[in-house]
């Protein structure tokens, strides 16, 4: 059997709920049901933030469908373990504690051999990934809301109201789909000059000719605005861009 693997979310280790379901010998659908109940209970207490335990996510099935799952933090795993008794609970606790401890030790060892500049670059990259994940989460939630609204349009009565309520709960604001960035914005993220970003924008084919628009952004007056797809390209060439600045 494949060993469970930790996933990194916003710089922190997490376990996919599908992995957790295998580890505790429970169907994923049943674990998802339990987690939703836990979240509903937590939401009754304003001092509790369910995202410190369970982070909504999704995965692509073998049929190409986007299906829901959760990412469990160490606290989330502790929460699930506390609901279990007997041998299964003991084995799950031993497994997840070992996984999270190994992760921490590995990253401490890696960081011990990194220069301050390398750590700064990594932290900027993590900040960008955190923003990107939040935007993807909002877009996926809004897509689900749009689907629910379409279905609701073909129903009536109690079912209509139920679907409308679910759609409203899914919506996340603001929607980042049209968010754009100037060369200065990107330069600040990468720790280089706006001039270098301008040069690399042209070098990577991200900057449309003067006054034109392309899939990576558009001109408004004398300023060019890059979209999220362009920013992703800049980050893929981050090391070379920083070297070029030096």
Q: What is the pLDDT of residues 117-131, one digit of tens each?
A: 766 666 666 666 566
pLDDT-derived band of residue 212, with 50, 70 and 90 as boundaries? confident
pLDDT at 38 exceeding the cut of 70: yes
So what's the pLDDT on residue 176? 36
Bridge partners of 12, per DSSP, are: 9
The pLDDT of 83-96, averaged and rounded, is 88
Question: Helix or strand or coil: residue 82?
Answer: helix
Q: Measured between alpha carbons, how far is 192 from 127 in angstroms, rounded to an integer?
A: 16
Where is average pLDDT lowest: 20-34, 165-179, 222-236?
A: 165-179
pLDDT at 134: 60
Q: Strand 223-227's sheet: what is its strand order?
A: 180-181, 223-227, 217-220, 213-214
Q: Is 91 helix (H, G, I), strand (E, B) or coil?
A: helix
Question: Using CA atoms, how far apart are residues 7 and 129, in angstroms rounded to an integer?
Answer: 13
- pLDDT band, residue 78 (cuts 50/70/90): very high
* Among 139, 126, 136, 173, CA closest to 9: 126
Is the per-residue pLDDT at 181 higher than 80? yes
- Domain with residues 180-245, CATH architecture: Orthogonal Bundle (1.10)
The helices-and-strands tally (H runs, E runs) of the chain is 10, 8
pLDDT-based confidence at 133, cuts 50/70/90? low
Tokens 């279990």 — which residue? Answer: 84
Confidence of residue 171 (pLDDT cuts 50, 70, 90): low
pLDDT over 50 at 67, yes or no: yes
Provide the residue ranges of all domains of the chain, joining segments of one domain with +: 6-112, 116-170, 180-245
Question: Would you call 63 helix, strand, or coil by DSSP?
Answer: coil
Q: What value does the mean pLDDT take over residues 208-223?
A: 83
Quote the pLDDT of residue 170: 59
Q: What are phi and psi of 61, to 5 degrees?
A: -75, 170
Q: How far apart are alpha carbons 244 and 31 in whole angstroms?
A: 49
Across 18-36, average pLDDT: 93
């Amino acid at each position: 059997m494949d060993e469970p693997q930790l996933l990194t979310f916003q710089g922190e280790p997490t376990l996919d709920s599908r992995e957790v379901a295998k580890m505790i010998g429970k169907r994923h659908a049943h674990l998802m049901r339990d987690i939703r109940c836990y979240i509903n209970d937590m939401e009754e207490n304003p001092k509790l933030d369910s995202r410190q335990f369970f982070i909504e996510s999704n995965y692509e099935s073998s049929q190409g469908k986007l299906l829901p799952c959760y990412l469990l933090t160490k606290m989330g795993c502790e929460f699930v373990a506390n609901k279990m008794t007997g041998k299964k609970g003991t084995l799950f606790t031993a497994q997840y504690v070992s996984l999270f401890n190994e992760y921490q030790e590995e990253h401490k060892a890696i960081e011990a051999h990194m220069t301050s500049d390398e750590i700064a670059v990594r932290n900027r990259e993590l900040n960008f990934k955190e923003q990107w994940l939040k935007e993807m989460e909002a877009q996926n939630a809004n897509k689900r809301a749009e689907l629910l609204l379409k279905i609701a349009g073909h129903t009536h009565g109690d079912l209509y109201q139920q679907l409308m309520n679910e759609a409203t709960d899914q919506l996340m604001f603001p929607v980042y789909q049209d968010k754009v960035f100037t060369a200065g914005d990107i330069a600040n993220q990468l720790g280089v000059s706006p001039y270098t970003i301008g040069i690399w924008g042209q070098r990577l084919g991200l900057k449309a000719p003067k006054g034109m628009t392309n899939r990576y952004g558009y001109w408004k007056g004398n300023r060019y605005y890059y979209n999220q797809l362009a920013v992703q390209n800049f980050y893929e060439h981050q090391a070379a861009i920083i070297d070029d600045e030096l």
